[in-house]
Structure 1
Amino acid sequence: MSLRSARVNAGLTIKEAAKIIGIHHETLSKYEKDSSDIPMSLLNKLSNLYQIPTDYIFLGNRYELIRTIESKRNKQPA
């Protein structure tokens, strides 16, 4: 799951989540778009806030995740 979907599933706006973990909402937005360079300490805070294991969080570029999902969909038999 992406960081954005984890936040939305937790029922938080980007500003609410950023305030709780002590970062600017634009910083969180940046990591939601590309989490490949997210600090482990921040990832752990987000994991705790969103109540999901870090292993469940996709780390990488949002568009890379979308391409991966679409590729898997296209390979499924009709």
Structure 2
Amino acid sequence: MTIDKIILAHNDAFISSEKKDLNFGFTDDAIWLRFSVINTNPTITQWMMMISYYFLWEIDLYIIQGDQIIDHKKSGYIRTS
């Protein structure tokens, strides 16, 4: 699946979770997560996302507004120097 298909996916393509910590076990599959971030303090414009498992090979974070990608961050074990 591509980010373009994810953007076009309907809400029913995702399963809601109430868990604080998600665990998908060991897999070679891509895992797509979608969530909203609401900034209740307009004076704070920077934020940090913490992923506690270090050995994730690749992490791509897409920031989307509407149906447009406004930022794309890359991280992960194979991308660190």
Pairwise TM-score range, normalised by the shorter structure: under 0.3
What TM-score do you get using the length of structure 1 for normalisation? 0.24
What TM-score do you get using the length of structure 2 for normalisation? 0.24
1 or 2 for the larger relative contact order (CA 8 Å, sep ≥6)? 1
Higher strand share: 2
Larger Rg: 2
